[in-house]
C-alpha cells in the first residue's frame, strides 16, 4: 500500500537529537568488538557425529528405521503420517542434556532455534508442538500407551514396552 505526502519544503537542517539510542549504539559497538573472540562453541555440528539418544516408538509403528531427514521433518511437523497413513504423535522432553543432544545432533538446530520455530507455528495457528514431558519415564510410558507415537530417550535408559527405531544417517 502506498500513501502520498503533503509535506512542504523546509529549510531546517539536520538537528542532532540525543535519545537513549545513542547509549545503545555505544553498547552495540562494544559488544561487537568483544565478539572478535568467539566465546561460545556450542554449535550443533560440534558433537554431531555421536549421539547419546535412542529413538523409540509405540509397538504399533511398523517402521524399524528412519533417516535423519525424516526425523527432522517429523519434529518440524512437515511429516505427520506413518507409511500406513496413521497419525504420527511426536513427543519430546521439556529440557535437559538428552533433549539438547537430540535437538542439536539429530535435528541439527540449537535448542533455542527449535523452541522459536515452534513459537512461530503456535502463534500463527499452523500447528501444536510435540507433547513435552519432564522425565524420560513419563515419556516412555506415554509412547508405550499411545498408538503412532514416537520419542527419544538416553541410549542408557531401559525401554520396556516400546519399539526401538534405528537411525540411518
Partner 1 sequence: MDADGIRKPRQTAGPNSHRLRLPASVPIALSLGLLLAGSLSFAGSLEDLYIGGFVSQGYIDTSENNYLVPKAREGSGEFNEVGVALSITPADRTRIGIQFLARDLGEEGNNQVMIDWAFGDYHWRDDLGFRAGKLKLPYGFYNVVRDVDVARPFVLLPQGVYDERIRDFFTAYEGASLYGNLHHEPVGDLDYEFYVGTLNVPSPESGFWGDIFQRTGESAAADSSFRADVGDLYGVDVEYISSGGFIDPHVALPWLVGGALTWTPPVEGLRFGGSWLRSRYEASARLLFNVQARDRETGRPEYFGFDIPDPRIQDDVEYIMSLSAEFARDSYSAALEYTLQNTGGTDHVGDTPVTEGYYLSGSYRLLRDITVGAYYSRYWNDRNDRDGEEALRNGYPEFSAWQHDLCISARFDVSPNWLLKLEEHWVDGVGQLSPSENQDANGQTDANRYWSYFAAKATFHF
Output b/e per residue, 127-153; b: 16+ Cβ within 10 A: eebbeebeebeebbebbbebebbbbbb
Residues 55-84 that bind partner 1 (CB under 8 A): 69, 73, 78-81
User: Which of residues 133 and 152 has its CB atom nearest to partner 1 in the complex?
Assistant: 133
Distance of alpha carbon 132 from alpha carbon 139, whole angstroms = 8
| Residue 32 interacts with partner 1 (CB under 8 A): yes or no | yes
| Residue 156 interacts with partner 1 (CB under 8 A): yes or no | no
User: Which of residues 125 and 158 has its CB atom nearest to partner 1 in the complex?
Assistant: 125
Stretch touching partner 1 by CB under 8 A, among 52-60, 120-128, 138-146, 156-164: 120-128
What is the smallest separation between the CB atom of 29 and partner 1, expressed in angstroms?
9
Distance of alpha carbon 87 from alpha carbon 164, whole angstroms = 18
Beta strands in the chain (DSSP E): 53-57, 65-67, 89-93, 131-133, 149-154, 163-168
| Residue 131 interacts with partner 1 (CB under 8 A): yes or no | yes
Give the strand pairing for 53-57 and 149-154.
Answer: antiparallel
Residue 69 DSSP symbol: H
- At 164, give phi and psi (nearest 5°): -85, 140
What is the smallest separation between the CB atom of 111 and partner 1, expressed in angstroms?
10
What is the smallest separation between the CB atom of 158 and partner 1, expressed in angstroms?
26
Contact set with partner 1 (CB under 8 A): 1-10, 12, 14-17, 19-22, 24-25, 27-28, 31-32, 34-35, 39-40, 42-45, 69, 73, 78-81, 87, 108, 110, 112-113, 115-116, 119-120, 122-125, 127-129, 131-132
Amino acid at each position: 500500500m502506498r500513501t502520498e505526502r503533503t509535506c512542504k519544503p523546509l529549510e531546517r537542517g539536520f538537528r542532532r537529537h540525543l535519545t537513549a539510542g545513542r547509549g545503545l549504539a555505544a553498547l552495540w559497538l562494544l559488544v561487537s568488538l568483544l565478539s572478535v573472540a568467539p566465546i561460545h562453541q556450542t554449535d550443533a555440528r560440534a558433537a554431531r557425529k555421536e549421539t547419546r539418544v535412542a529413538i523409540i516408538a509405540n509397538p504399533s509403528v511398523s517402521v524399524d528405521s528412519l533417516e535423519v531427514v525424516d526425523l527432522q521433518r517429523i519434529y518440524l511437523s512437515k511429516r505427520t503420517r506413518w507409511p500406513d497413513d496413521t497419525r504420527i504423535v511426536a513427543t519430546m522432553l521439556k529440557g535437559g542434556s538428552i533433549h539438547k543432544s537430540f535437538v542439536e545432533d539429530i535435528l541439527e538446530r540449537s535448542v533455542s532455534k527449535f523452541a522459536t520455530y515452534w513459537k512461530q507455528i503456535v502463534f500463527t495457528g499452523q500447528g501444536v508442538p510435540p507433547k513435552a514431558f519432564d522425565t524420560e519415564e513419563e515419556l516412555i510410558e506415554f509412547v508405550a500407551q499411545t498408538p503412532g507415537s514416537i520419542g527419544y530417550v538416553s541410549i542408557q535408559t531401559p525401554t520396556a514396552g516400546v519399539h526401538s527405531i534405528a537411525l540411518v544417517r
